[in-house]
Chain A
Amino acid sequence: MNKIETKNLSLFYGTFQALIDVNLSVEEKMITALIGPSGCGKSTLLRTLNRMNDLIDGVRITGEVLIDGENIYGKETDLVLLRKKVGMVFQRPNPFPLSIFDNVAYGPRTHGSKNKAELEDIVEKALKHVELWEVLKDKLDHFALNLSLEQQQRLCIARLVAVTPDIVLMDEPCSALDPVATQRIEELMFELKKNYTIVIVTHNMQQAARVSQRTGFMLLGKLVEYGETRQVFTTPREKKTEEYITGRYG
């Protein structure tokens, strides 16, 4: 069974249709990349997967999004549980204006872990997971916004890992980072793939080619092509895909 499946998913901002009949299936413990020119709906699609679009006024959604076979747009969906299971990393690193420790502990704390030893344990594990522990273990009380952008983004991933999600959505996670930092975050994604199902939106085609196993190409709200990354980049079935990846528009 696919981890995530969208069925005839359409999304409207008022009268504008941003997603048109999208049928996407995401496999477990793989990195799936969504590419396409600006405004094609790839971020919108990503944000339907943890219902972040609900925050915007005037959004209407039709169709289904199944996660582990359950429609998350059904009536019984608990948004809190959904977003615990489907976490998100944003375009700009957005740590809270708190200490490093408090940033990572924020999720577990609000979900009810009050025990100090338990929290310390969670924070250590999460920071080790994103390879920040060695650098920061003596600076846990430092202000998170003083870290470099790459470290901030790692911290945001650690903050997410601390609530043990199942799926990690990444919305252009490297667009604010320099090439070296980008490479290091990509290495981290490979590491994370062992435990998590990752969906990443990127406008950087090389990045999609490097990190993902599956790629979806979107254009004007439609999922034009979807398949194995190698196939999409070397022998695209659709003419539009070929034109995009060869740089004819975008």
Chain B
Amino acid sequence: MKIRAKPHFSVSTQTQQKIAFTLLGIASSLVVVPVIVIFAILIQKGWPAINWQFLTTMPRMGMRAGGIFPAIMGTLYLVGGTIVVALPLGVLAAIYLVEYARRNFLTRMIEVAIVNLAGVPSVVYGLFGMGLFVIYLKMGVSIVAGALTLAIMILPVIITSTKEALQSVPRSFREASLALGVSKWQTIRYVVLPNALPGILTGTILGISRAAGETAPILFTVAAFYLPRLPKSIFDQCMALPYHLYVLSTQVPNVKPALQYGTALVLVGMVFLLNLVAILVRSHIRSRKQW
């Protein structure tokens, strides 16, 4: 029996394989390169600007000096408000769709709507929020209006990830509970939700990190150009990091580049931290999960 294949044939497959591996390798490194470059430049140029004072004081001299404290706090308020609205709404909607809704035309329509909602450009959410919350519902340019707009934007993320988390809870758990004479709602409350929690949390954090970084939805609904104080109530405007960065970079002349890069670094750092938390939560729960 001949094990060695014909020489020209074998060379050609091996060469093909090498070429394929090289191409795949290049493609995957190309994905990583921009991330590393962005981080490197941000850290190199922004790090010198970051100190305690930068993080905790108000901007001064038309934002050319001082800190970005109100922008950081504004972003935190917005993120908080967004969670309060989007998390319960999204989780309840997902529970309904997965556990209660029958497969029919209506639920299919709802699912298609959710997918499409996820693909709507963020500036459209911004304009929609302005039209509905700011003007029609007379909330004015305010934290409520901004948080509601961001909440609508991240709802699809939360609903989709919650649905997947609920569907991944084994059917046998539900059956075991129902067969003990436990009602459907109690089964969801005590068996399904606790086991779906990690997935729900991950989705929520990813949604929130998106909300923290978007500019367009807050542009017309909440963000203040220059407001060197903390908001007085949820009906007040506030500064926010993404918008502040945009303002520093394009709207104010003669800003030291270090300030711009410093702001960008803080924003990226916050989003990165949120994502990191999501990854840690997920891996922690996965290591405990034994089914």
Residues of A at the B interface (CB closer than 8 Å) are: 50, 52, 55, 57, 79-85, 87-88, 90, 92, 94-97, 106-107, 110-111, 143, 145-146, 156, 159-160, 163, 165
CA–CA, A68 and B39, complex, Å: 72
CA distance A88 to B182 in the complex (A): 12
Contact yes or no, B180 A163, CB < 8 A: yes
Q: Is the beta-carbon distance between B175 and A52 smaller than 8 angstroms?
A: yes
Known: A55-B178, A159-B180. 20 other contacts (CB 8 A): A52-B175, A52-B178, A55-B175, A57-B103, A80-B182, A87-B181, A90-B175, A94-B172, A96-B191, A97-B195, A97-B289, A97-B290, A97-B291, A106-B190, A107-B180, A110-B180, A110-B182, A111-B182, A146-B290, A160-B180
Question: Which residues on A sit within 8 Å (CB–CB) of B195?
Answer: 97
B102 touches A (CB below 8 Å):
yes
Which residues from chain B sit less than 8 Å from chain A, CB to CB? 102-103, 170, 172-183, 186, 190-191, 195, 289-291
Residues of A within 8 A of B186 (CB): 110
CB nearest to B290 among chain A residues: A145
| Closest chain B CB from A168 CB (angstroms) | 10
- Shortest CB-to-CB span from A174 to chain B, Å, is 17
Can you name the residue of chain A whose Cβ is closest to the Cβ of B172?
A94
Asked if B180 and A90 sit within 8 Å, CB to CB, the answer is: no
Do the beta carbons of B291 and A145 come within 8 Å of each other? Answer: yes
Q: Which residues of B contact A57 (CB under 8 A)?
A: 102-103
- Within 8 Å CB of A52, what residues of B? 175, 178-179
- Listed A/B pairs (12) with beta-carbon separation below 8 Å: A57-B103, A82-B181, A83-B181, A83-B182, A87-B179, A90-B176, A96-B173, A97-B195, A97-B291, A106-B180, A107-B180, A110-B183
- The docked-state distance in angstroms from the alpha carbon of A79 to that of B182 is 9
Residues A81 and B181 in contact, CB atoms below 8 Å apart: yes
Inter-subunit contact A83/B176 (CB<8 Å): no
B291: A residues at CB distance < 8 A:
97, 145
B111 to chain A: closest CB distance in Å? Answer: 16
Q: How far is the CA of A80 from the CA of B181 in the complex (A)?
A: 4
Q: Which residues of A contact B181 (CB under 8 A)?
A: 80-85, 87, 107, 111, 163, 165
Most-contacted residue by chain B among A80, A95, A163 (CB, 10 A): A80
Residue pair A83, B172 in contact (C-beta under 8 Å): no
The residue on B at minimum CB distance from A87 is B179
Cα distance A50–B177 in the bound complex, in angstroms: 13
